């Protein structure tokens, strides 16, 4: 843990923290994350593909994701820096009922976003705010029963996150925090690889996966 403390302390020094390390606290954070996100171009491509298949239950629309996050916070009085890792995902399923011609099967599209972030946080007690620069990588996996091989595509980009913070202090070393946030990626989600795999031409509208979400986090002081 000494190497981690050193790394986080250097980050704190970079941001110009005025407080002495004597008054600083290192916390481990863990929690759950849910966010709203939609991509009309992706939903259009998936919908067009569904219409070519004998699905009894086609793929649903992609409009939300959820997952987990963890990280470290180095706090000196009201200010803090955080190192953060987050993964969110959504699994879309389409089902085919069995007939005399073929057995039942399920096709799957798995969309996920992982991120590493470095952020600044101001904690005024109950209320606070923060911002974070993220390095993200998007993973799209498709497993179709009738396809010759599965599909996987990874795209990376930077993003900025801004959030409010409501802290619920506990009686022990663990505090809970509610953090509604807005996240803005710097690039569009690349639809062409998915379109080609689904035997469609490129040209679907592409957009950034901007997200409104909520993180529910627990901060546990590290001795």
**pLDDT value at residue 156:** 96
Look at residue 138 and tell me whether its pLDDT is greater than 70.
yes
Look at residue 4 and tell me whether its pLDDT is greater than 90.
no
Quote the strand ranges of the chain, DSSP E.
24-36, 64-76, 79-96, 105-123, 127-143, 151-168, 174-185, 211-221
Look at residue 154 and tell me whether its pLDDT is greater than 80.
yes
Q: What is the tens place of the pLDDT at every residue in 61-104?
A: 999 999 999 999 999 988 999 999 999 999 999 999 877 677 88
Helix (H, G, I), strand (E, B) or coil at 158: strand
User: What value does the CA radius of gyration of the chain take, rounded to a whole number of Å?
Assistant: 21
Which phi and psi angles does 17 have, rounded to 5°?
Answer: -60, 135
What is the residue whose two structure tokens read 């070519």?
52
Which residues contact residue 101 at a Cβ distance below 8 angstroms, ignoring those fewer than 6 apart?
none
Instruction: Count other C-beta atoms under 10 Å from residue 188's C-beta.
Output: 15
Please say whether the dihedral angle defined by the alpha carbons of residues 42, 44, 49 and 55, taken in this order, is positive or negative.
positive
**pLDDT value at residue 170:** 66
Burial of 65 (0-12, 13-18, 19+ CB in 10 A): buried
**Cβ atoms of 14 and 188 closer than 8 Å:** no
- Distance between CA atoms of residues 217 and 179, nearest Å: 8
Look at residue 10 and tell me whether its pLDDT is greater than 70.
no
Which phi and psi angles does 69 have, rounded to 5°?
Answer: -145, 155
- On average, the pLDDT of the chain sits at 88
- Distance between CA atoms of residues 118 and 135, nearest Å: 9
Lookup: tokens for 124? 């005024």
Instruction: Specify the pairing of strand 127-143 against strand 151-168.
Output: antiparallel
- Distance between CA atoms of residues 128 and 169, nearest Å: 13
Measured CA to CA in angstroms, residue 42 lies from 100, 140, 153, 206 at distances of: 33, 11, 14, 8
């Amino acid at each position: 843990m000494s190497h981690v403390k050193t790394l986080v302390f250097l980050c704190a020094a970079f941001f110009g923290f005025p407080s002495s390390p004597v008054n600083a606290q290192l916390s481990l954070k863990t929690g759950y994350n849910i966010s709203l996100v939609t991509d009309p171009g992706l939903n259009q491509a998936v919908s067009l593909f569904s219409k070519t298949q004998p699905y009894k239950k086609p793929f649903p629309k992609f409009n939300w994701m959820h997952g987990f996050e963890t990280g470290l916070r180095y706090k000196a009085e009201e200010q803090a820096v955080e190192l953060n890792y987050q993964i969110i995902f959504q699994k879309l399923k389409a089902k085919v009922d069995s007939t005399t011609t073929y057995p039942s099967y399920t096709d799957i599209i798995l969309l996920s976003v992982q991120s590493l972030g470095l952020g600044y946080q101001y904690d005024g007690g109950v209320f606070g705010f923060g911002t974070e620069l993220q390095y993200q990588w998007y993973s799209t996996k498709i497993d179709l029963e009738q396809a010759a091989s599965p599909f996987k595509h990874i795209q990376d980009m930077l993003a900025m996150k801004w959030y409010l913070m409501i802290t619920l202090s506990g009686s022990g070393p663990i505090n809970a925090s509610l953090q509604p946030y807005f996240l803005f990626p710097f690039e569009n989600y690349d639809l062409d690889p998915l379109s080609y795999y689904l035997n469609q031409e490129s040209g679907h509208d592409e957009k950034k996966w901007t997200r409104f979400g909520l993180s529910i986090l627990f901060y546990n002081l590290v001795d």
